């Protein structure tokens, strides 16, 4: 058998190495070194075998020895740089890459690797230069185009980045990372359909890459396809069981697919894997809030805020949750809002521009409305009558829509705007610039601390006057906001704060229009059941969101059913643990569970039809209903409400006063039970209300859209005149 020399043995070892047969390659390299201990190439290649095995420290030591044997080999320095990068020492890595470049300036790999380290360090311009040099040397290198795209995207040069990703894909059509990164960038600019195509390519090419599965799940969830997204999250978890972010995504999809109990379990699994996962704590808090578990929700949100004190959206979620906790005073909520403003809002005051809007008190005003809820949502529903009746000779209406999933109601709202801007893809600063460029005079925020709010845009005060309205009867608490619309019932006369002062409309905070073609008002259900004078067959009901159903409300409703024997209660309660908690509460109060009917989430049409089964609607407290109370009255169902000291506990008082039924508003839980029981015992009055409430609603200020719109426009004009006066005296 012929004897092979060292160079031939090295070639055999390389063949094994390139074929992925690392044990065979390692054996040959070691044989060479046994014969020639100072063989630089064998030492270097043995180091690369160690690197492939994840033994980066051992690899670095071997490659350093190879460099000592042959310091003029640029690939040795480049690969040593890669080992230092893996070992978390970017400074040593960059020194190695630069040494490789010094030895061989036209060696592309160290330029590319240097760019990657510079990019991680945030030195984006230097990274871009390194990647461009790489491409000058190897124009057909797809990975360099992809890396350059990443750097350009981070620099905000979106069009250039998109071109780089597409060039990488053109050069290498099966380049999964380029498809994935293209999809991520398309998401950021709102091109969701194109992003889905790109991410599906990435998943098809590399189905075992958990990042790609998770990213596609994120996109599908954003496109309101949670059931489909769930499958990709589950695949990501299957591929990488300890990936906390995939568990969070799976939990989000479960929540949106109406499986909140399973979602809570998935959030807790994510937290077990990564206790400092802010999104897991925050989303767990939001889900617990929706399930009516407010104390646990507050604890989860506070934990998230402890982990990330500057996470403004989490802080907003905490404030929103505090409204739902019985026993929390308005002063406590106001203090938390002030804390939000001090932490997130006031630091942005340095970005407030000089407002050069002409201070002419009677000129046509540009009013901007900003909301994520220009869609089938209570905000969208209440805005429709207002937008439909604006005086466009006096007011130019501009809507800034940040809704991620526009729908048919979005199009109806859009038809009433002079200018409609889809701005969901703009960040807070860019949106503030856009509003400033549009020369808005009065900017009206319709979200406050609700989900997907843009308070960080309002904190930059892009308009000279800023107003809050509608999402909650209370305000946002920002010093950059001048007024909040209100009415005399929601905000009785009091000492108003120096900013975000209540501007009380003369009659009503609400202007109602049903969202669909509603069914006719049915006959009184109690009469169909043969109810007697004691109201024994009366059906009470609450179709409010379950997050508002507090233990205090449940206890009061139990007392009401005890007061009115044989009456029934129909509640809108999600499936799973909330229904179990409600049944347990009623069983503990010796209420026959046959008298309790729990209805899960239903369609809008089914929701309105459910009112045909209810005789008397019971408002929640301390956070009362708004949309549900108006819907109930329009369906002929009187509402019993409990007014408290907070603005968010006085919406029922406003609605019922405007429809001429202030006697149905209680000031204590005992009075609430008394009013509801007395109404249940007066079937003639219930019958009369059933037959007349829709007409009373239609003839009340609640549905007088022209009058309401004039009141709002008068409010805007008064605010503007005051601003002009301050400019004149400044």
pLDDT higher than threshold 60 for residue 535: no
d(CA 277, CA 399): 35
d(CA 551, CA 7): 82
pLDDT higher than threshold 70 for residue 95: yes
Average pLDDT over the chain, rounded to an integer: 94
pLDDT higher than threshold 90 for residue 16: no
pLDDT higher than threshold 50 for residue 318: yes
CA neighbor of 387 nearest in space, from 407, 368, 406 = 368
Give the model's pLDDT for residue 9. Answer: 84
Kindly compute the dihedral angle of the four CA atoms of residues 674, 677, 683, 688, in this order, to the nearest 10 degrees: 50
Confidence of residue 220 (pLDDT cuts 50, 70, 90): very high
**38: number of Cβ within 10 Å:** 12
Report domain 6-203's class: mainly alpha
pLDDT higher than threshold 80 for residue 623: yes
pLDDT higher than threshold 70 for residue 91: yes
Whether the CB-CB separation of 589 and 562 falls below 8 Å is answered with yes
Which token pair is 487? 């009415």
Output the CATH code of domain 283-348. 1.25.40
CA distances to 103, 142, 177, 397, 559 from 207, in Å? 40, 20, 12, 48, 58
pLDDT higher than threshold 70 for residue 36: yes
Domain 352-504 and domain 525-703, same fold? Reply is yes
The stretch 208-228 carries a mean pLDDT of 95
Q: What is the largest CA-CA distance in the chain?
A: 114
Share of the chain above pLDDT 90, in %: 86
Domain 525-703: CATH architecture, name and number where available: 3-Layer(aba) Sandwich (3.40)
Give the model's pLDDT for residue 1. Answer: 35
Whether the CB-CB separation of 453 and 316 falls below 8 Å is answered with yes
Confidence of residue 517 (pLDDT cuts 50, 70, 90): confident
Ordered by start, the domain boundaries in the chain are 6-203, 283-348, 352-504, 525-703
Output the CATH code of domain 352-504. 3.40.50.11380
Sign, CA dihedral 360-366-370-376, equals: positive
Whether the CB-CB separation of 14 and 45 falls below 8 Å is answered with yes
The stretch 112-132 carries a mean pLDDT of 95
d(CA 139, CA 145): 8
Radius of gyration of the chain (CA): 32
pLDDT higher than threshold 80 for residue 87: yes
CA neighbor of 245 nearest in space, from 286, 273, 208 = 273
Which token pair is 115? 């760019």
């Amino acid at each position: 058998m012929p004897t092979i020399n060292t160079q031939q043995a090295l070639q055999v070892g390389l063949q094994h190495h390139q074929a992925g047969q690392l044990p065979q390659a390692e054996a040959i390299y070691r044989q060479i070194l046994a014969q020639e201990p100072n063989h630089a190439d064998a030492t270097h290649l043995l180091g690369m075998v160690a690197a492939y095995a994840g033994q980066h420290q051992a690899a670095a030591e071997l490659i350093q020895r190879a460099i000592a044997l042959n310091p003029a080999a640029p690939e040795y320095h480049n690969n040593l740089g890669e080992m230092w990068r893996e070992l978390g020492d970017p400074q040593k890595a960059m020194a190695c890459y630069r040494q490789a470049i010094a030895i061989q300036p036209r060696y592309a790999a160290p330029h590319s690797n240097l760019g990657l380290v510079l990019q991680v360090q945030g030195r984006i311009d230097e990274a871009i230069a390194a990647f461009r040099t790489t491409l000058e040397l190897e124009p057909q290198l797809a990975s360099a185009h992809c890396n350059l795209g990443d750097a350009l995207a981070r620099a905000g040069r979106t069009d250039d980045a998109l071109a780089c990703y597409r060039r990488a894909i053109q050069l290498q059509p099966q380049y999964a990372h380029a498809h994935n990164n293209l999809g991520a960038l398309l998401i950021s600019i709102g091109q969701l359909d194109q992003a889905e195509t790109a991410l599906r390519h990435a998943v098809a090419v590399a189905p075992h890459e958990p990042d790609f599965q998770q990213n596609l799940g994120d996109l599908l969830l954003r496109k309101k396809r949670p059931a489909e997204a769930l499958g990709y999250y589950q695949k990501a978890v299957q591929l990488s069981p300890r990936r906390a972010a995939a568990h969070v995504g799976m939990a989000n999809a479960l929540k949106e697919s109406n499986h909140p109990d399973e979602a809570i379990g998935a959030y807790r699994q994510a937290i077990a894997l990564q206790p400092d996962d802010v999104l897991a704590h925050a989303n767990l808090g939001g889900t617990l809030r929706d399930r009516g578990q407010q104390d646990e929700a507050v604890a989860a949100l506070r934990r998230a805020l402890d982990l990330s004190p500057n996470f403004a959206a989490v802080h907003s979620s905490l404030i929103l949750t505090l409204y739902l906790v019985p026993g929390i005073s308005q002063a406590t909520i106001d203090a938390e809002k002030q804390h939000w403003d001090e932490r997130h809002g006031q630091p942005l005051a340095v970005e407030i521009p000089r407002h050069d809007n002409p201070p002419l008190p009677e000129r046509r005003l540009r009013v901007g409305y900003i909301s994520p809820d220009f869609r089938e949502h209570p905000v969208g529903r209440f805005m429709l009558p207002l937008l439909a009746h604006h005086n466009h000779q006096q007011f130019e209406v501009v809507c800034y829509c940040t809704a991620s999933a526009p729908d048919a109601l979005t199009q109806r709202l859009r038809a009433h705007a002079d200018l409609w801007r889809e701005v969901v893809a703009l960040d807070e600063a860019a949106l503030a610039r856009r509003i400033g460029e549009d020369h808005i005079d009065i900017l009206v925020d319709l979200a406050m601390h609700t989900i997907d709010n843009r308070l960080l845009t309002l904190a930059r005060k892009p308009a000279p006057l800023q107003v809050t309205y509608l999402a909650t009867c209370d305000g946002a608490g920002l010093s950059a906001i001048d007024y909040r619309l209100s009415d005399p019932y929601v905000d009785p006369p009091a000492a108003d704060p120096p900013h975000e002062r209540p501007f009380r409309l003369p009659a009503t905070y609400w202007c109602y229009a049903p969202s669909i073609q509603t069914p006719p008002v049915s006959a009184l259900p109690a009469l169909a059941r043969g109810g007697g004078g004691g109201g024994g067959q009366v059906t009470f009901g609450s179709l409010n969101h379950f997050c508002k159903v507090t233990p205090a409300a449940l206890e009061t409703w139990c007392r009401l059913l005890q007061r009115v024997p044989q009456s029934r209660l129909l509640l809108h309660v999600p499936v799973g643990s909330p229904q179990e908690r409600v049944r347990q509460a009623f069983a503990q109060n010796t209420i026959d569970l046959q008298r309790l009917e729990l209805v899960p989430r239903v369609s809008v049409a089914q929701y309105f039809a459910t009112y045909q089964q209810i005789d008397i609607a019971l408002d929640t407290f301390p956070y009362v209903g708004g949309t549900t109370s108006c819907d109930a009255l329009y369906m002929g169902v009187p509402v019993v409400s409990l007014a408290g000291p907070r603005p968010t506990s006085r919406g029922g008082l406003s609605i019922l006063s405007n429809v001429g039924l202030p006697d149905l508003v209680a000031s204590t839980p005992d009075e609430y039970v008394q009013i509801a029981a007395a109404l249940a015992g007066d079937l003639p009055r219930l019958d009369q209300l059933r037959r007349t409430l829709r007409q009373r609603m239609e003839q009340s200020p609640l549905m007088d859209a022209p009058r309401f719109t004039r009141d709002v426009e008068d409010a805007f004009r008064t605010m503007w005149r005051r601003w002009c006066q301050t400019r004149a005296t400044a």
